[in-house]
């Protein structure tokens, strides 16, 4: 049974508030992200790919994107 768009939006809002610790990240990536002020999933999800690459580098940005996917959330893009 599919969920309604309103329900999905509420679930996504709750997920965005979850701490980064909920994602399957290496301790190094988690510490690096927190040092740069990324503390919640929503901050990562709403950051552009270019911003994450600039802040975290290619390997850590890719790890975060994979973790979001594993968590069941896709990253926002400007076209979304």
Domain extents in the chain: 19-80
Q: What is the mean pLDDT of each run of 10 residues along the chain (80 residues)?
A: 87 92 94 96 92 96 92 62
Q: Rg of the chain over CA atoms, in angstroms?
A: 13
Residue 56 neighbours by CB under 8 Å, 6+ apart: 29, 32, 33, 36, 64
Helix, strand, coil content of the chain in percent (nearest 5): 70, 0, 30
In angstroms, rounded to a whole number, what is the distance separating the alpha carbons of residues 20 and 66? 13
CATH class in words for 19-80: mainly alpha
User: 76 burial class (0-12, 13-18, 19+ CB within 10 angstroms)?
Assistant: middle
State residue 76's pLDDT score: 61
């Amino acid at each position: 049974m599919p969920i309604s768009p309103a329900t999905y939006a509420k679930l996504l809002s709750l997920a965005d508030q979850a701490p980064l610790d909920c994602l399957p990240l290496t301790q190094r990536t988690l510490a690096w992200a927190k040092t740069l002020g990324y503390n919640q999933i929503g901050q990562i999800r709403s950051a552009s790919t270019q911003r994450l690459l600039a802040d975290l580098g290619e390997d850590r940005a890719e790890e975060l994107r994979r973790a979001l996917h594993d968590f069941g959330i896709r990253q926002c893009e400007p076209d979304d």
